[in-house]
Chains A and B, each alone.
Chain A
Amino acid sequence: MAQNTATQQQEHAEGLAARESELRHAAGARGSILGSMKAKRIIGGIPVRIFVIVILAIWTLPTMGLLVSSFRTQTAIQQSGWWVGLFNFTNFEQWTLANYDRVLTADGMAGAFFNSILITLPATVIPITMAAFAAYAVSWMKFPGRQFLFVMIVGLLIVPLQMALIPVLRVYTANNISGTFVGMWLAHTGFGLPLATYIMYGYISGIPKSILESAYADGATPWMLFTRLILPLSVPAIASFAIFQFLWVWNDLLVALVFFGTRRPIVTTRLAELVGSRGQSWHVLTSGAFVTMIVPLIIFFSMQRYFVRGMMAGSVKG
Chain B
Amino acid sequence: MKNVAKLFLAVMVLLAFTAPVVFGGGAAEPTVEATNPTGNPWTDGQDLSGTEVNIFGAFVDEDASRFRTAMAPFIEETGINVVYEGSGDFESLITVRTEGGDPPDIAAFPQPGLMRDLHSQGYILNVLDWFDMSFLEQQYNPGWIADSMVDDEVAGVWYRASVKSLVWYPPRVFAAQGYEIPETWDELLALSDQMVADGFTPWSIAIESAGATGWVATDWLEDIMLRIHPPEVYDDWVAGDLGFDSPEFREALDIMLEIWFNDDYVLGGTSSILTVPFGDGPAPLVTDPPQALMHRQASFITGFMPDGTDIGPDGDVNFFYLPPIDPAMGSPVLTAGDIMSPMRDRPEIRAVLRYLAHGESTRGWLEQGGFVAPHEDASLDWYPGLDRGYAEILLNADVVRFDASDLMPGVVGAGSFWTGMVDIVSGEDIDSVLAEIDESFPR
Q: Which residues on A are within 8 Å of B, measured CB to CB?
A: 73-75, 78-79, 107-108, 111-112, 114-115, 118, 121-122, 125, 165-170, 172-174, 178, 180-181, 257-258, 261-265, 269-270, 272-282
List, in ascending order, chain A residues with CB within 8 A of B58's CB: 277
If A112-B25, A257-B87 touch, whether A169 touches B60 (CB-CB below 8 Å) is no
Q: Is the CB of A258 within 8 A of B27?
A: no
The A-contacting residues of B in range 45-103, CB under 8 angstroms, are 58-65, 83, 85-89, 93, 96-97, 99-102
Q: Is the CB of B12 within 8 A of A276?
A: no
If A79-B283, A257-B89, A278-B300 touch, whether A263 touches B99 (CB-CB below 8 Å) is no
A278 to B302, CA, bound (A): 11
Per a CB cutoff under 8 Å, which of B20, B23, B59, B85 touches A277? B59
Q: Is the CB of B25 within 8 A of A118?
A: no
Q: Does B19 contact A (CB under 8 A)?
A: yes
A-B contact pairs, 8 of them (CB 8 A): A75-B283, A118-B19, A170-B101, A178-B100, A178-B102, A258-B100, A273-B60, A277-B86
List, in ascending order, chain A residues with CB within 8 A of B100's CB: 165-170, 172-173, 178, 258
Q: Does B280 contact A (CB under 8 A)?
A: yes
A67 to B304, CA, bound (A): 22
Q: Is the CB of B26 within 8 A of A118?
A: no
Q: Does B176 contact A (CB under 8 A)?
A: no
Q: Is the CB of B96 within 8 A of A270?
A: no
Q: Is the CB of B26 within 8 A of A165?
A: no
A79 to B58, CA, bound (A): 29
List, in ascending order, chain A residues with CB within 8 A of B86's CB: 262, 273, 277
Q: Is the CB of A111 within 8 A of B85?
A: no
Per a CB cutoff under 8 Å, which of B20, B287, B307 touches A264? B20
| Nearest CB of chain B from residue A270's CB, rounded to whole Å | 7
A115 to B409, CA, bound (A): 39
Q: Is the CB of A263 within 8 A of B26?
A: yes
Per a CB cutoff under 8 Å, which of B26, B83, B88 touches A275? B88
A279 to B24, CA, bound (A): 25
If A115-B19, A115-B25, A178-B102 touch, whether A277 touches B61 (CB-CB below 8 Å) is yes
| Nearest CB of chain B from residue A227's CB, rounded to whole Å | 9
Q: Is the CB of B15 within 8 A of A118?
A: yes
A71 to B94, CA, bound (A): 36
Q: Does B199 contact A (CB under 8 A)?
A: no
Q: Which of A79, A114, A125, A273: most chain B CB closer than 10 A?
A: A273
Which A-chain residue is minimally distant from B304 (CB atoms)?
A280
List, in ascending order, chain B residues with CB within 8 A of A174's CB: 101
If A73-B307, A275-B88 touch, whether A258 touches B93 (CB-CB below 8 Å) is yes
Q: Is the CB of B19 within 8 A of A262?
A: no
List, in ascending order, chain B residues with CB within 8 A of A278's CB: 300, 303-304
A173 to B96, CA, bound (A): 12
List, in ascending order, chain A residues with CB within 8 A of B307's CB: 73-75
The A-contacting residues of B in range 12-41, CB under 8 angstroms, are 12, 15-16, 19-20, 23-27
Which B-chain residue is minimally distant from A114 (CB atoms)?
B23
Per a CB cutoff under 8 Å, which of A108, A114, A167 touches B19? A114
List, in ascending order, chain B residues with CB within 8 A of A263's CB: 26-27, 83, 85
Q: Which of A172, A265, A269, A276: most chain B CB closer than 10 A?
A: A276
Q: Is the CB of B97 within 8 A of A272?
A: no
List, in ascending order, chain A residues with CB within 8 A of B9's CB: 125
List, in ascending order, chain A residues with CB within 8 A of B384's CB: none
Q: Is the CB of B88 within 8 A of A272?
A: yes
Q: Does B279 contact A (CB under 8 A)?
A: yes
The A-contacting residues of B in range 329-385, CB under 8 angstroms, are none
A265 to B280, CA, bound (A): 30
If A263-B83, A263-B85, A264-B20 touch, whether A274 touches B61 (CB-CB below 8 Å) is yes
A270 to B27, CA, bound (A): 11
Q: Does B143 contact A (CB under 8 A)?
A: no
A115 to B20, CA, bound (A): 8
Q: Does B306 contact A (CB under 8 A)?
A: yes
Q: Is the CB of B83 within 8 A of A269?
A: no
List, in ascending order, chain A residues with CB within 8 A of B59's CB: 277
List, in ascending order, chain A residues with CB within 8 A of B96's CB: 165-166, 169, 258
If A114-B23, A265-B25, A277-B59 touch, whether A122 touches B87 (CB-CB below 8 Å) is no
If A107-B65, A173-B102, A279-B279 touch, whether A115 touches B12 (CB-CB below 8 Å) is no
Which A-chain residue is minimally distant from B9 (CB atoms)?
A125
A122 to B14, CA, bound (A): 12
A280 to B85, CA, bound (A): 19
Known: A169-B96, A263-B85, A270-B26. 10 other contacts (CB 8 A): A73-B307, A75-B306, A78-B280, A169-B99, A172-B100, A258-B93, A262-B87, A277-B58, A278-B300, A280-B303
Q: Is the CB of A111 within 8 A of B26?
A: yes
A20 to B218, CA, bound (A): 87
Per a CB cutoff under 8 Å, which of A121, A264, A279 touches B27? A264
If A265-B25, A272-B88, A276-B61 touch, whether A169 touches B93 (CB-CB below 8 Å) is no
Q: Is the CB of A173 within 8 A of B101?
A: yes
Q: Is the CB of A262 within 8 A of B26?
A: yes
| Nearest CB of chain A from residue B24's CB, rounded to whole Å | 6
A262 to B287, CA, bound (A): 38
| Nearest CB of chain B from residue A166's CB, rounded to whole Å | 5
List, in ascending order, chain B residues with CB within 8 A of A257's CB: 87, 89, 93
Q: Is the CB of B26 within 8 A of A169?
A: no
List, in ascending order, chain B residues with CB within 8 A of A115's CB: 19, 23, 25
| Nearest CB of chain B from residue A213's CB, rounded to whole Å | 26
List, in ascending order, chain B residues with CB within 8 A of A114's CB: 19, 23
Interface readout for B423-434 with A: 1 if CB under 8 Å, 0 if not? 000000000000
Q: Is the CB of A108 within 8 A of B25?
A: yes
List, in ascending order, chain A residues with CB within 8 A of B15's CB: 118
The A-contacting residues of B in range 263-289, CB under 8 angstroms, are 279-280, 283, 287
A314 to B280, CA, bound (A): 51
If A122-B12, A173-B102, A278-B303 touch, whether A269 touches B87 (CB-CB below 8 Å) is yes
A277 to B108, CA, bound (A): 13
Q: Which of B26, B61, B102, B279: most chain A CB closer than 10 A?
A: B26
Interface readout for B283-323 with A: 1 if CB under 8 Å, 0 if not? 10001000000000000100110110000000000000000
A184 to B136, CA, bound (A): 42
List, in ascending order, chain A residues with CB within 8 A of B12's CB: 121-122, 125
A277 to B160, CA, bound (A): 13
A75 to B16, CA, bound (A): 42
If A108-B25, A118-B15, A263-B26 touch, whether A277 touches B97 (CB-CB below 8 Å) is no
If A115-B19, A169-B96 touch, whether A276 touches B60 (CB-CB below 8 Å) is yes
List, in ascending order, chain A residues with CB within 8 A of B93's CB: 257-258
